[in-house]
Amino acid sequence: MRVAIGFVLLILSFVSASYAQGYSGGSILIFSDAALTNPTLADNQPGMKNLYVVNTDFIASTGLRFRTVAGVGFTGVWLSESSPFITVGKSTKDLSIGFGSCLFAPVMVLTMTYQFFGTSAACSALSIAPPDGFPFALCNSGGGCIDELPCLGLGSLGVNCPVATESTTWGRVKALYRD
């Protein structure tokens, strides 16, 4: 038990030192599609939907720790989650994910299932947030997994946000398809 506590304190000291040095790598993002291309969601009808959490730009990591936070107006209800990795906790409170080895990004780390009712407010969000501090990944900038560094890039899934549009002319549209 003493060895485990000592190891945790050692890891936390690495996190504190790295955070103090201003490390700014890594992003944990949420996508609404399995292809991991859509960071938005239209909650316009009732139904269950899967959401995907991805570690997108750490050079290498052995684990993550984070939670999800529903923004004002978000009415989706968390039902379940699954991960191909070892997990402790729940994403709605405090989730730790251990990869078991050093993995290079991008890594899909979690699939969450939510029930939607078609009632979320315009531009509400489901966001990645720190659990009692900040989320972290075990990694270093050289590609090995020896230091623990904080993930500072935390993403959000925009829900019912209007799509930006630009005015154009028919000539500009045709110009897009010219050889």
Domain ranges of the chain: 2-175
Q: What was the pLDDT predicted at 122?
A: 95
Q: Tell me if 70 sits within 8 A of 76, measured CB to CB.
A: yes
- The residue ranking higher by pLDDT, 4 or 36, is 36
Q: What was the pLDDT predicted at 13?
A: 33
* pLDDT, mean of residues 113-134: 89
Q: Is the pLDDT of residue 57 over 50?
A: yes
85-115 pLDDT per residue, tens: 999 999 999 898 888 888 888 889 999 999 9
* pLDDT, mean of residues 37-65: 88
- The residue ranking higher by pLDDT, 164 or 123, is 123
Q: Is the pLDDT of residue 70 over 70?
A: yes
With CA atoms as reference, report the closest residue to 153 among 60, 17, 61, 24: 24
For the domain covering 2-175, report its CATH number: 2.60.40.680
Q: What is the C-alpha to C-alpha distance for residues 175 and 179, in angstroms, rounded to an integer?
A: 9
| DSSP state at residue 143 | S
With CA atoms as reference, report the closest residue to 65 among 15, 2, 5, 4: 15
